[in-house]
Amino acid sequence: MHNFEYFNNVKFIFGKDTVTKVGELVAAQGKKVLLHYGGGSIKKSGLYDTIMKSLKESSLEVVELGGVVSNPRLSKVYEGIEVCKAEKIDFILAVGGGSVIDSAKAIAAGVHYDGDVWDLYIGEGNVESTVPLGTILTIPAAGSEVSPNTIITKEEGQLKRGFSHISLRPVFSILNPELTFTLPEYQTTCGMVDMLAHTFERYFTTVRFVEVTDRMSEGLMKSIINIAPKLIADPNNYELRAEIMWAGTIAHNGLLGTGRIEDWASHMIEHEVSGIYDIAHGAGLSIVFPAWMKYVYKNDMPRFAQWANRVFDIEINTFNLEETILKGINALERFYQSINMPIRLTDASIDIERIEEMADKATNNGAGTVGSFVELTRDDIVNIYKLAE
């Protein structure tokens, strides 16, 4: 196990009838709140009214900024920063999924930053202080409700980049599984693919002996895979929604990465796809991950065979681990297909014309590598895209 530090001070309020606590939670942090959200769905569902009522009851001033889209845009972040400065906002409440929360974090980081907030996303600036934020999660997927991470897309050049700062962990996150009943099936499944991917990125590590987090990660993966088809068949089942919602947070709370070297190559390879083609991140991941696995499994066959066995119940052929592994990857692909997710670029109507461009962007024109399980060069990434063709 590697040395590590672990600190995660997000307060979670989980369950039914929890949104009404938001006013009290915000009031403990500030007086004037930016309510940040996406489209009109929170107004249609009545969630907006519940939130506003609670905020008003706690005598909070509210300024609104909606309109966040998936693969959230830098232009909206700039708008949010200006609003926060003009209105002297002292707390940001993000209501939505990962896109809204990531956008809120970008705004939180940019308000006190003396320069272009995009600097932070390209590693050219430092954050001194941020505006505190809280979340009401409506899409279990990205884990942004627990993480210190934010990913933003700059429209010019279709660049999708991430940034992380410890002060960007939400002060609180309210998770009410009932809010996810009305999620379209596609968003539900994309979310499950994403949380599974967060577990993979930590599971496939070069650190040899990490049995406790291995087995706990396998338990999480198995749960998501087991619950997914049941949830699709029964989307208003509170118990299933609750398991998946909490699974999304656990997958990204950092605990399952402790003592390990994490990878994140597949996420970076995917970001170039969704950055250009604007497909859902989850859909990009179900395409990229099997291809990445096929490309790298030979670097640690015992680990991949263990995964195939413990997560997909593939019997281990001790004479031929490769057979076991390929059955495992195949089982993953069949799982993705069973929940109607794409597993090839062509399934998502993406032609491969821009593969070279995407590999260039992922590696700073070939100057860098991505990942740590295997350090992938530009050419490796081209090969992975081809495997996903």
Sites of contact with its own copies (CB under 8 A): 1-18, 177, 208-212, 214-220, 222-224, 226-227, 239-240, 242-243, 246-247, 250, 255, 258-259
By beta-carbon proximity to its own copies, the closer residue of 6 and 64 is: 6
Task: Give the three-state DSSP class for 164.
Answer: strand
Task: Give the three-state DSSP class for 209.
Answer: coil
Minimum gap (Å) between residue 207 Cβ and its own copies: 10
Minimum gap (Å) between residue 190 Cβ and its own copies: 19
Which residues sit opposite 134 in a β-bridge?
A: 93, 172
Minimum gap (Å) between residue 280 Cβ and its own copies: 23
By beta-carbon proximity to its own copies, the closer residue of 11 and 56 is: 11
Q: Which of 137, 92, 123, 93 is nearest to 252 (CA)?
A: 137
End-to-end CA distance of the chain: 37
Q: 199 with 332: CB under 8 angstroms?
A: no
Minimum gap (Å) between residue 329 Cβ and its own copies: 22
Minimum gap (Å) between residue 238 Cβ and its own copies: 8
By beta-carbon proximity to its own copies, the closer residue of 168 and 265 is: 168
Nearest-angstrom CA–CA distance, 226 and 144:
23
By beta-carbon proximity to its own copies, the closer residue of 12 and 78 is: 12
By beta-carbon proximity to its own copies, the closer residue of 15 and 148 is: 15
Residues 6+ apart with CB under 8 A from 368: none
Residue 175 sits at φ, ψ, to 5 deg, of -120, 105
CB atoms under 10 Å from CB of 145, counted, come to 29
By beta-carbon proximity to its own copies, the closer residue of 122 and 166 is: 166
Buried b (16+ CB within 10 A) or exposed e, 197-232: bbbbbbbbbeeeebeebbeebbebbeebbebbeebb
Residue 68: both structure tokens together: 């966040």
Minimum gap (Å) between residue 17 Cβ and its own copies: 8
By beta-carbon proximity to its own copies, the closer residue of 70 and 199 is: 199
By beta-carbon proximity to its own copies, the closer residue of 18 and 188 is: 18
Minimum gap (Å) between residue 250 Cβ and its own copies: 7
Q: Which of 21, 270, 214 is nearest to 136 (CA)?
A: 21
By beta-carbon proximity to its own copies, the closer residue of 218 and 347 is: 218
CB atoms under 10 Å from CB of 319, counted, come to 7
Minimum gap (Å) between residue 382 Cβ and its own copies: 37
Q: Which of 266, 261, 267, 143 is nearest to 213 (CA)?
A: 261
Minimum gap (Å) between residue 223 Cβ and its own copies: 5
Residue 23: both structure tokens together: 């006013």
Which residues sit opposite 36 in a β-bridge?
A: 65, 94
Q: 361 with 272: CB under 8 angstroms?
A: yes
